[in-house]
Amino acid sequence: MPGPGPGRRLASGGAIDRTRTLGFTFDGREYAGLEGDTLASALLANGLAGGFQSPLLGRPRGVMSAGPEEPCAFVEVSAPWFDLLAPATMLRLVDGLAAIPRTGVGRLPPPDASAVAARPRHAHVETLVVGGGVAGLRAAREAAGRGDRVLLLDERSWLGGTARSFEQVEGRPAWEWVEETAAALRSTPDVTLLTEAAALGLYDAGYAVIHERSRPVEHLWRVRATRVVLATGAHERPVAFAGNDRPGVMLSGAVLTYLDRFGVLPAERAVVWVANDAGYATARALRAAGAEVVAVVDARREGEAAAQDQARADGLEVLAGAVIVATDAATGSGHVSGAFAVGPDGQRIRLDAELLAVSGGWNPVVQLHRAIGGGLRYDPARACFVPDGGPAWLSATGAAAGEVPAAEPVWHIAAGDGDSSALSTSLSEHFVDLQRDQTVSDVAEALDAGLRSVEHIKRVTHIGTAADQGRTSGTLAAEIVNQLLGADPGAQGPTGARPPWAPLPYHVLAGPFRGRLFDPVRETPIHPWHVAHGAVFENVGQWKRPWYFPREGESMEEAVLRECAAARDGVALMDASTLGKIEVVGPDAATFLDRMYTNAISTLPVGRLRYGVMLGLDGMVFDDGVAMRLAADRYLVTTTTGNAAAVLDRFEEWLQTEWPELRCWATSVTEQWATIAVVGPLAREVLWAAGTDVDVSTAAFPFMAWRDGTVAGVPARVTRVSFSGSLAFEVNIASWHGLQVWEALYAAGQPFGLTVYGTEAMHVLRAEKAFPIVGQDTDGTVTADDLGMSWIVNLRKGDFVGRRSLRRADLTRPNRKQLVGLLPQDTAALIPEGAQLIDPGSVGASPPVPMRGHVTSSYRSAALGRTFALALLEAGRQRHGDTVFAFDARLTEPIAATVADPVFYDPEGARRDG
């Protein structure tokens, strides 16, 4: 812990309210600050110049800046809200604030800590102004004057940026001008001013994402602006010299901000080191506050700057043509106790000081401009990079546009300058990136390794990759590279910039879209019944589908076996409402569907259904379903539950982009219909008991036909289609009748022992018949022939999507993986889905061994009284009867299985009629 430091609150001055004291804790100790403070200013006022530690080397660190460029003073806040990572310089002090220095790796917040809510906000404006300093306020005033809707934001808690109390703007004292201008803007309609709001990124066409750190509700703004004005100001640049990271080494503009805005004097005795005129104002303000200014060390030669003589005239000691080469520190705290200057004569002078205010020049804040593709130009007079070209909607103004003081290019102090036995001046103490603890020595090492590009050097050293995003280190690192390579200043610029430009907590990004709002949930009309009857659900896309319906004390395995047995030997109900349903309507509907499916749909008579498969253009199975002809010009096609949207999109794409001449329209009707499958040998009995005017006898109602009528008193379309191999009817009713008809069928079925079943039993039943599930037994590399379904491909009917690809060499090679059945030789062994198949000779061999295929589906079968699986196996249809071994990391030893025809249940199809 640091002892009492050198800083103190001044008796007067600043934009703080001395009558309003705020209590806070830092590192567990209690302190008091004032309304208007940041945590950093309150720490300095309490004499806490240090108290921080560098993450990698553990060196003592203190507050270096007064703004978002802070590389050292990061804290974790636990009260009154939780914040994992906040620069103390940007944290507005509130009563009860509790903060600890952030050292090392961050911790996740405790589960109950997300007390700060985050909400999205949207805005559309003609002019977005990023930065609320004098330049930004002027830009906003101009835009408001021409009637624009205006949004202006600033990341600090005040407007006016670094305007000083003693400056004049448009003939008015600067702070009064800021107050008057802001008040006028606030009273203008459609003008919004935000503080504590950072622009995280700019995107194409004037899109901006903004994080507003308002408490207790934070906002993530998404703004679309016709014009974006960057008034982001400039960040002062440090210089790399030995011990430039010690507590007490601060940026000169920051020192001035603490004096002027917060009425805080960081130390009683100071050295000011400048490479430009700006630092002289700091020296004067320090002296005005009662501090001793030991010297102003000016890197520019004697007579090069008028400021030198003006300062001398004011009684300041000026060392011209001099640089600071090193600092030394008091034992214990690591705080600066002196600085070593080397003048034009080469003499090294030690200057006693507890504060070293450094100004190496000013970098326009151009990262948002760069991240959207704007270029940079090196300005040699100001020794900085300024915006040069970019999107037409983006402009910069003020310091961001390059209006910064002229500066002597001083980047780092060479090794050996001012060397002395008492003083380490090795380059390994010349810090470039204080947050990543990277020094000139690290940069030199990267160059020695042969790296030349700043982008590569960044990735080796990690300079610029910490939470401060290289605000103080980016340009400095680039210029040190230029200097070490003997190139001109500006030869290489700083590395690219990417959003987010300020740390963004994930909870802000998530906003309210978590838990129930994370993703839409789709439920069938029968869902409440499933919930009431204890269904265990699985997610199928956004749908909640009953997975199985366990009875009291029943395991999943027991429940699924019971459900399957009912569908095979009795009667069972399943909610099939999630099945995708698309109506395809128009005089050319038949022609269109013939081109989409591998088989002929146009020859389907009205009143009948036909199974169909669709291929991708590459010839691979894309989806399957059943087409139902409702009228000469009207079909209803079903799709896989998870593929409904993709199938409709595909219809739209072909209809709109390739065959606009076809008079045919496709409409999703998935949610208009509820579909109930009545499955099993007693299905007819249940329909009769529930009451239907549809003749469901075998003679009157053949397989793959549909009939309109009523079921349980409700208009219904009944189809005879089976995804299980058992006798089955699917009852389609308007979705609002779904629950009513389900309940009627369930009640009617009770005398017959009717059972409800879920998707797991459905999967088992269809697998016993080798009905593939697209996306489970296929993966986009499987053809209809691979599935043993070449019968569905009609090559004589004319062209269809994917047809030409079927002749490609890869699709006709003999060793393609083909769908087979697997019967584990231990009839109780269940092969994990996804397991790889290997030859018997590979068992026990050292890997790699040839992978012959993999298991796509694997279940216990009630009908077979054993386990079975479906698999894709190289040349599998020629291998029926062979033994293969299934293995993966979930197994302790391979499972031997016999390759078989995949149709295990009722290969003759006798059971589908009941």
Partner 1 sequence: MLLLPCPWCGLREEVEFRYGGQAGIAYPADPDALSDEEWADYLFMRDNPKGPFAERWYHVHGCRRWFNLVRDTATNELLAEGR
List of residues contacting partner 1 (CB under 8 A):
203-207, 224, 373, 391, 617-618, 649, 652-653, 656-658, 799, 803-805, 807-809
User: Which residue, 301 or 804, is less far from partner 1 as judged by CB?
Assistant: 804
Contact 46, 27 (CB under 8 A): no
User: Which residue, 204 or 908, is less far from partner 1 as judged by CB?
Assistant: 204
Residue type, 828: A
User: Which residue, 35 or 618, is less far from partner 1 as judged by CB?
Assistant: 618
Strands 580-585 and 634-639: antiparallel
What contacts 656, CB < 8 A, 6 or more positions away?
Answer: none
Q: What angle do CA 632, 637, 643 make, to 5 degrees?
A: 155
Strands 150-153 and 117-130: parallel
Residue (of 59, 50, 52) closest to 428 by Cα position: 59
User: Which residue, 309 or 652, is less far from partner 1 as judged by CB?
Assistant: 652
Orientation angle between helical segments 278-288 and 306-313, nearest 10 degrees? 10
Separation CA 160–CA 182 (nearest Å): 9
How many other CB atoms are found less than 10 A from the CB of residue 825? 12
Least distance to partner 1, CB of residue 588, Å: 16
Separation CA 65–CA 162 (nearest Å): 12
Strand partners, 92: 38
User: Which residue, 558 or 658, is less far from partner 1 as judged by CB?
Assistant: 658
Q: Helix, strand, or coil here: 738?
A: helix
Least distance to partner 1, CB of residue 459, Å: 24
The single-letter DSSP state of residue 496 is P
Contact 883, 896 (CB under 8 A): yes
Strand partners, 911: none
Least distance to partner 1, CB of residue 207, Å: 5
677 alpha carbon, distance to own chain's centre: 41
Least distance to partner 1, CB of residue 146, Å: 22
Least distance to partner 1, CB of residue 201, Å: 10
User: Which residue, 375 or 534, is less far from partner 1 as judged by CB?
Assistant: 375
Separation CA 464–CA 529 (nearest Å): 57
User: Which residue, 710 or 805, is less far from partner 1 as judged by CB?
Assistant: 805
User: Which residue, 373 or 834, is less far from partner 1 as judged by CB?
Assistant: 373
Least distance to partner 1, CB of residue 673, Å: 21
Contact 202, 374 (CB under 8 A): no
Could you tell me the sign of the dihedral formed by the alpha carbons of 652, 655, 660, 661, in that order? negative
Least distance to partner 1, CB of residue 209, Å: 9
User: Which residue, 377 or 808, is less far from partner 1 as judged by CB?
Assistant: 808
Q: Helix, strand, or coil here: 453?
A: coil
Least distance to partner 1, CB of residue 223, Å: 11
Tokens matching residue 628: 């139902």
Least distance to partner 1, CB of residue 563, Å: 38
Residue type, 116: V
Least distance to partner 1, CB of residue 221, Å: 14
Least distance to partner 1, CB of residue 465, Å: 25
User: Which residue, 20 or 808, is less far from partner 1 as judged by CB?
Assistant: 808
Least distance to partner 1, CB of residue 649, Å: 7
Least distance to partner 1, CB of residue 248, Å: 45
Orientation angle between helical segments 644-657 and 589-596, nearest 10 degrees? 110
User: Which residue, 205 or 700, is less far from partner 1 as judged by CB?
Assistant: 205
Which helix H or strand E contains 483, and what residues bound it? helix 474-484
Least distance to partner 1, CB of residue 642, Å: 17
How many other CB atoms are found less than 10 A from the CB of residue 235? 25
User: Which residue, 122 or 146, is less far from partner 1 as judged by CB?
Assistant: 122
Beta strands (DSSP E) in 10-116 are: 17-26, 29-35, 52-53, 60-61, 74-79, 83-87, 97-101
User: Which residue, 312 or 807, is less far from partner 1 as judged by CB?
Assistant: 807
Contact 395, 225 (CB under 8 A): no
User: Which residue, 447 or 662, is less far from partner 1 as judged by CB?
Assistant: 662
Strands 895-900 and 817-824: antiparallel
Q: How many CA atoms lie within 13 A of 354 on its CB side?
A: 21
Place of tokens 């740390």: 503
Three-state SS string over 838-884 comes to ECHHHCCCCCCCCCCEEEEEEEEECCCCEEEEEEEEECHHHCCCCEE
Separation CA 471–CA 16 (nearest Å): 27
Separation CA 283–CA 298 (nearest Å): 12
Least distance to partner 1, CB of residue 804, Å: 4
Least distance to partner 1, CB of residue 567, Å: 38
User: Which residue, 279 or 802, is less far from partner 1 as judged by CB?
Assistant: 802
User: Which residue, 661 or 908, is less far from partner 1 as judged by CB?
Assistant: 661
Peptide bond into 110 cis (omega under 30): no
Separation CA 7–CA 264 (nearest Å): 7
Separation CA 701–CA 375 (nearest Å): 74
User: Which residue, 657 or 892, is less far from partner 1 as judged by CB?
Assistant: 657
User: Which residue, 321 or 375, is less far from partner 1 as judged by CB?
Assistant: 375
Q: Helix, strand, or coil here: 900?
A: strand
Separation CA 459–CA 330 (nearest Å): 35
Residue type, 521: V
Least distance to partner 1, CB of residue 717, Å: 26
Separation CA 24–CA 38 (nearest Å): 11
Least distance to partner 1, CB of residue 661, Å: 13
